[in-house]
Amino acid sequence: MPPPADIVKVAIEWPGANAQLIEMDQKRPLASIIREVCDGWSLSGSEQFALRYADGPQLYITEQSRGDIKNGTILRLAISPARAARQLLERIQSHGIDARLEALKELAKLSADPTFAAEFINMEGIGTLARLVESGTHFGEMLAFTLTAFLELMDHGIVSWDMISLSFIKQIAGYVNQPMVDVSILQRSLAILESMVLNSHSLYHRVAQEITVGQLIGHLQHVIRGNRPIKAEMAHQLYVLQVLTFNLLEERMMTKMDPNDQAQRDIIFELRRIAFDGDTDPTGTEKRKAMYTKDYKMLGFTNHLNPAMDFTQTPPGMLALDNMLYLARVHQDTYIRIVLENSSREDKHECPFGRCAIELTRMLCEILQVGELPNEGCNDYHPMFFTHDRAWEEFFCVCIQLLNKTWKEMRATAEDFNKVMQVVREQITRALAMKPSSIDQLKNKLRGLSYSEILRLRQSERMSQDDFQSPPIIELRERIQPEILELIKQQRLNRLCEGSCFRKLGNRRRQEKFWFCRLSLNHKVLHYGDLEESPQGEVPFELLSDKIPVSDIKSVLTGKDCPHMKEKSALKQNKEVLELAFSVLYDPDETLNFVAPNKYEYCIWTDGLCALLGREMGSDLTRSDLDTLISMEMKLRLLDLENITIPEAPPPVPKEPSSYNFTYNYS
C-alpha cells in the first residue's frame, strides 16, 4: 500500500553522526520535526537549529517551502538562519584576516538563500558590508566575496537600492575605472552598477556621472577581442551601443552649412591651404578670387565660386565637411596625394574629391543607418567600431581611398560618377558583412574586393540566380516543397518525442532549476515534470508526473505575448530571454511557460507545437532548412542536365500520325 500523500521519506544528516531516516509528516509543524531530530542526536536547544537541503543550493527549509521536498531527498540539520546570520556578522568584522575571509566566503554562498538573507538584513548586515566596501581596505578575494554577498542580498528586493550612498557608488565605479582590476571584482562591480541603474531612477543619474561610455569601451574591447564567443544578449547590447553612438552624428548630418558663417567658411579655406600650401596668394582681390575658384575646382567641389553651397543639402550636411577636415588634418599625406593626383590629370578621368567625399558620407550614413532607432531583435554589430576612438572618421578615410582606387580601376569620368558610387557601396557592404575586427582588417578585406573581383562576383551570382529562375525550375521547386516540408515536420515531431530540458525563470545569479518536457510517441500527450539537475540523455515518461493532452492545446504564444514575460518580475528580463520564451495555452485557460536553452531549441519546439496544431511552421530554422534541403534535392535531380540548356517552355506535342499501322502486332 503506498504511503499517504502527506508523508515523505527523507534522510537527515549531522556531521559526525549516522544519518536519520524518517517519514516526515507534512502536516506536522516544522519545529516539532526539528525537535524530534535533535532528540535523536541528544542535541539541546532545538530552536537554534533548522533543516537545509544537503545538495544543490542547500537552501533552508521553511513552512512555505517544505512542500517542495520529495521522497528520497537528503536534508541536513544546520544552525538556524538567525543564529548563522548573527555569527557571520560578528566574524566578518573580526580582526583576523583569515577568519574574515572564510566568513565572507560563507556569507557569499548563504546570501542567495532568501530565509538567511531576511535575517541578515534585519541585523543591518547590508549596511555593514557597504561600510567594508567604502573603507577601501578589502582587496582580491576578500573584496570579491564582499561584493558577491552584497549583490545577492540586494537581489532579494527586501531593501531599496535608493538607500545606497554616494561614497559606495564612487568606490564601485572606481573598481570599474581601474585599468588592471581583477576580473571577478570587475564582473561583480558591473553587476552592482547594472542593478542600480535598473532599479532606481535617481541612482541612474549618479552612476552616469561616475561611469561614462568611454570608460567602458576598454572593457568592451577586451570582451570583443577575447577567445570566448559573444552571446546573443551581449551582441545585441553592442549593436544598440553602436547604433546610439552613430546617432550622435545625426545632428551634424542634418545641419546645413551657413554660407555666411565665417567660422564654417574658414574650414573650407583650411582644406585649400593644406592641399596647396606651397602656393602664395596673389595680391589683387580679383586675382585671389580667380585663384581660389581654380583651387576649389581642383578640390573637386561642384560649386567652384562658393563651395559652401555644396554642404547645404542634408544629409550629409556638415558631417561631410567634418570628415574631410579630419582626413586633411590627421592623414595629411593621403589627403594631399588624392587631391594633387586628380587635379593634375588632363584626360577627364580625374576623381572630384569634394563631390566624392560628400556623396560618400551620405552613403556611409545610409549603410550604417545613422539616425535610425535600434531594432529590438538585431545583433548586427561591427567589432571594428569598438577598437578605435575615432572609428567613424577612420572608416571614412579608408573608404575615400577605396573610392579613389576604384575610380582609377574603372577609368571613370564625371559621367560615370553614379556607377562608381554603386560599385563602392557594394565593396563596402561586402567587406562589412565579413565582420572585420579592426580598421586594418577592413583595409585587407577591401584590397581583395577590387573592381574586377566585384564584376566576377556579380557574374557568378547572376548565373546562379538565372539557373533557378527559369519556369521549369520554379515548377520543380513547387512540386518538391510539400515533400520537404513534411520531412521537416517529422524531424520536429521526432525531436519533441525525444524531449528537452528547460530552465525555470529566476534570478540569473542563482543556481538554476530545471524541468523536462517531451511529446508522447503517439503525438497525443505532452509529458513534463521538475528535475533536480540538468539530465544527461533522455528522461523516461515515468519520471514526468504532469501531462497535457494535445487536443486541449488552444494556441502557442511567443516573446512579449507570453504570460511569464508580462509579469512584473519579467519586466527586467533581458532580450535574450524574451527571444527564447514561448507558452502553450490549453483548456481550461491554463498555460505552460517555456524558456528555451538556445535559439535552435526554441525553433524546434515552436515549429513542432505548430505542426501538432496543424499550423504553418514559421521559424527562421524552418526557412533555412527548407532552402537548404530544396537546393540539395534540386541539384541532385538536375545532375544529369549539367551544361544542358533547359528550355523555357515544354516542346510542342507532335501531330497524330495518319495511321497506326506501324504498331507491333503481338498475336
Instruction: Say yes or no to pLDDT of 175 above 70.
Output: yes
What predicted TM-score, i.e. pTM, was given to this entire model? 0.61
Per-residue model confidence (pLDDT) at position 322:
96
**Nearest residue to 533 via CA among 492, 503, 498, 570:** 503
- Structural domains in the chain, sorted by start: 7-79 (3.10.20.90), 84-218 (1.25.10.10), 253-462 (no CATH), 484-623 (2.30.29.30)
Q: Give the pLDDT band (50/70/90) at residue 149.
A: very high
Give the pLDDT band (50/70/90) at residue 643. Answer: low
Q: Which has the higher per-residue pLDDT, 247 or 647?
A: 247
Percent share of the chain, pLDDT over 70 = 92
Q: What is the pLDDT of residues 436-478, one digit of tens each?
A: 999 999 999 999 999 999 999 888 776 666 556 677 778 888 8
* Structure confidence at residue 267 (pLDDT): 92
pLDDT tens track for 400-431: 999 999 999 999 998 999 999 999 999 999 99
Closest CA to 74 of 56, 91, 88, 97: 56
Distances (CA, A) of 332 to 23, 89, 139, 249, 311: 85, 64, 48, 23, 22
pLDDT in tens, 107-125: 999 999 999 999 999 999 9
Q: What is the pLDDT of residue 570?
A: 40
Axis-axis angle for helices 114-122, 97-110 (nearest 10): 130
Give the whole-angstrom CA distance, residue 622 versus residue 489.
9
What's the CA angle centered on 556, arms 552 and 559, to 5 degrees? 150
Q: Report the pLDDT averaged over residues 484-490.
A: 95
573, pLDDT greater than 70: no
Which band of pLDDT confidence, cut at 50, 70 and 90, is reported for residue 663?
low
| Predicted pLDDT at 571 | 40
Encode pLDDT of 295-340 as tens digits. Answer: 898 999 999 889 999 999 999 999 999 999 999 999 999 999 999 9
Q: How far is 70 from 66, CA to CA, in rounded Å?
A: 9
Residue 282 has pLDDT above 60, yes or no: no
How much is the pLDDT for 375?
Answer: 79
User: Is residue 569 predicted with pLDDT exceeding 60?
Assistant: no
Statement: residue 507 has pLDDT above 70: no
Residue with cell 551601443: 241
Q: Look at 142 and 635; give whichever has higher pLDDT.
A: 142
User: What pLDDT, on the 0 to 100 scale, is given for residue 385?
Assistant: 92
Instruction: Check residue 365 and give its pLDDT.
Output: 96
DSSP at 277: T
Beta-bridged to residue 517, according to DSSP, are 500, 528
Look at residue 12 and tell me whether its pLDDT is greater than 80. Answer: yes
Q: What is the secondary structure of 422-466 as a DSSP string?
A: HHHHHHHHHHHHT--SSHHHHHHHHHT--HHHHHHHHHHHHHHHH
What is the sign, positive or negative, of the torsion defined by CA atoms of 245, 248, 249, 254?
Answer: positive
Q: Which of 66-70, 635-639, 651-655 has the lowest mean pLDDT?
A: 635-639
Q: What is the distance between the alpha carbons of residues 550 and 520, in angstroms, rounded to a whole number?
A: 10
Q: How far apart are CA 291 and CA 276, in angstroms?
A: 11
DSSP codes joined into one string, 140-190: HHHHHHHHHHHHHHHTTSSS-GGG--HHHHHHHHHHHH-TT--HHHHHHHH
pLDDT in tens, 60-106: 999 998 988 888 899 999 999 999 999 999 999 888 889 999 999 99
Instruction: Calculate mean pLDDT across residues 525-546.
Output: 85
Nearest alpha carbon to residue 596 among 507, 500, 506:
500
The pLDDT mean for the chain works out to 87
pLDDT at 568: 44
* pLDDT of 520: 94
Give the per-residue pLDDT at 466.
53
Average pLDDT (132-159) is 91
The pLDDT, as a whole number, for residue 280 is: 53
pLDDT tier at 644, thresholds 50, 70, 90? low
Is a pLDDT exceeding 80 seen at residue 128? yes
pLDDT at 165 > cutoff 60: yes
Single-letter amino acid code for the residue at 224: I
Q: Identify the band that residue 543 occupies on the pLDDT scale cut at 50, 70 and 90.
A: confident
Q: Is the pLDDT of residue 284 over 70?
A: no
Residue predicted with more confidence, 510 or 577:
577
pLDDT at 505 over 80: no
